[in-house]
Amino acid sequence: MNQKKIQEIIENILKSLSLKDDQIKIIFTDQDQIQVNISLPEDTTGIFIGRRGENINALRLILSLIISQRSDGWPKLRLNVNDYQEKREEYLIHLAEDATAKAQELQREIILPNLSSYERRIVHLHIEKTGTVTTESRGEEPNRQLVIIPRPAA
């Protein structure tokens, strides 16, 4: 499916949610990724983001499903409302660093509950770079948890 058709689908769905043209920006990257940025007044961002990003994740899934039904594959779609994703990533990295330090200091596992699979992946990848602890996900959705495991002290 061509970019123009994908852009048209995304714009039609977002406009049905009362968004205007100047609030929607769609960027197609070289890596076949679709970046959708939504700019809203601060007092309405909560409706689109939801509790811990539930609404923004649901909207991203809906857009991805519709695009995938009309094209050959699953799109790499990134949806962002007022830079929420960047702020959330910063928070997750800070959380990962704090939990890593705590796991090393106490020499015991630290459990980070209630993260989406996307958020767990961000933490896994960030912690992987440190090499001082390991991570694993345990349990079944929706109760899957990320566990930070200290390496034995030398």
CATH value at residue 109: 3.30.1370.50
Residues in the chain: 154
Residue 41 confidence (pLDDT): 94
Instruction: Give the structural domain span for 17.
Output: 3-82
Which of 27, 49, 82 represents a domain boundary (last residue)?
82
- Please name which of 150, 147, 127 lies closest in space to residue 136, comparing C-alpha atoms: 147
One domain, residues 20 and 75 = yes
One domain, residues 70 and 101 = no
What is d(CA 2, CA 25) in angstroms, rounded to the nearest whole number? 17
DSSP β-ladder status, 145-150 and 110-112: antiparallel
What is d(CA 120, CA 137) in angstroms, rounded to the nearest whole number? 8
Quick check: 111 and 146 in contact, CB under 8 A?
A: yes
Residue 115 confidence (pLDDT): 87
Residue 19 confidence (pLDDT): 94
CATH number of the domain to which 45 belongs: 3.30.300.20
Q: What is the count of structural domains for the chain?
A: 2
One domain, residues 98 and 130 = yes
Which of 82, 99, 119 represents a domain boundary (last residue)?
82
Which of 40, 62, 82 represents a domain boundary (last residue)?
82
One domain, residues 127 and 68 = no
pLDDT per residue, tens digit, the chain (154 aa), is 688 999 999 999 999 999 999 999 999 987 788 999 999 999 999 999 998 788 998 999 999 999 999 887 888 899 999 999 899 999 999 999 999 999 999 999 999 988 888 889 999 999 988 778 999 999 988 788 999 999 876 6
